[in-house]
Structure 1
């Protein structure tokens, strides 16, 4: 935080200001650079002279910065007169510009990693260094990734409707990155999604915000003091954030009442049922299976079917869960870990231990690998 400057206000204004500049005909990469210069000027000036209209101030300064850049390029002199004649007193950017920027950053021509990085930079207001630290890559690598993404979308016109589903998918990817370095990407995703939910009336946007809040509410209980994973049934539910749960449930209920069900609302409903149970034993697994059935209908996702197999195993017994699992491809990520859990529940510790070892070898990260290894060791000791 810079003394005397409301950093959250600055971040919230970034997409609106970029949107105005792009509407004026500036390509995205140049607009984003100009806004970054304007932000630096705001940090310098605002502590002593806060403007009456911060968005208009940023637009004016960014526009002048861009004009200065254009004027320094002799090859573009002929455009200068036209640019100088453009109105400087344009009203502050409206909601449509902001929404179009979300759509632009989540453009289908970008890879998921590039779309996430560009969203964090242009919509989230994070610096390249912060994004690089969050992804544990060198700053130069992240700078190149963002530059390529900006070049890719610079030629994209903002006169076509964007795909809300793509925007929400990118925001969910940001949320699932969690936390590393000095940037809490889960918190950033919630902040940006909340901003989007305020700007657009869309039940799936509300569904995604509710899902994020409900997942985030359990965050403090997900790891032990030594950093090891704590499975949901073993979590200390007194450490769950009841305020976040209450807000998430309220947002979800309002979205579901509109009877336009989508995958994020269905996922949030499952998370809400977990949050509603005072103990793991009180979890309403029958209703969770019903929501997974809705998710399968909406997405036909193998990952959803895998999670459904776990829920079936809880609701109808391990044999039923194994039968549901047998319908899925064993090459599916985490299939072996689910099989190990269900075989243990079915009273076959030897098979479960072997599968836990196999699952640990294929685990995508160290924390999960350690957890699965401990499960295998626990069963070996028992045997």
Structure 2
């Protein structure tokens, strides 16, 4: 069995800072398929260091979308499954048709494993509207959908109505412990950890769409707690808050992308995970089980504190995995988590793996593919006229 994974990746400076290790749903899918005897073929523009052992073939995209579309047609003639991950991959599928390449004709199943939902507004110019509609009409070609949960599925159907009747499978954006490397030490972090009674860490984008001034105002006077913000920034937001809160010796920043092993080491030795989303983007407001930060901390049995995002609040509170409160209540909430940290950690360690399991969920998806294939074969056999059998 052969699978082609299409992951265009980000563009420009953001792309250079990211690798496949920032796409857990992709490298976990590669892992599960590899374990099940599938050949993984990947075409991408992101760095794949550390995951080559999961790949039968690895092809790299050029920068220009039209070049990517042409390259897409050169990777092979038939695959049992082709997976498109992001909205830009759907657009690329449509662009490839301009070269006479229709991936739909090269696979039994065209799958969209949704990592992001296209909720963007159309441009003001008529030609942009037409181009947008053409490129995103590629969603109608999808046979099967993988998405994180029912909330995300509802949002996807609102913006891509053609997917409403497609076979859909829920697979959380979670982690598989066996796939995750962990460093043995990290000098600068070890020093910070040693000098911190309670360490709350945040990992990911330190940008205006993700964080806000409200958060930093809320933690500026919590001097008995060490806050670490580890991540990247391309919009100047990190530099602004670093300068504004330079007088707060308990707030630390470590800029730049970390290796997966170093990132896991930081999370492993953190006391509480900070998961914060402050955006008007529905992808964020309905983040649900697609939050990589959420699953990263919980996979290490770390209680989570987050702002009052409804989908996260419901999940955390109903399963006692952490607290979701407005930023102005962070001080009280963190104090509660610190006092009950051991209790929370034991509970998360025991119950989270029974709630969220990427490997099991993806395995169930693969079983439906096999069932569909068997049903299709049976249908073809039944369609053969009995007279043909009598000839033998």
Q: TM-score higher than 0.5 here? A: no
Question: Taking structure 1 as the reference length, what is the TM-score of the superposition?
Answer: 0.25
Structure holding more helix per residue: 1
Select the structure of larger CA radius of gyration. 1
Choose between structure 1 and 2 for higher RCO, CA contacts under 8 A separated by at least 6 residues: 2
Which is strand-richer, 1 or 2? 2
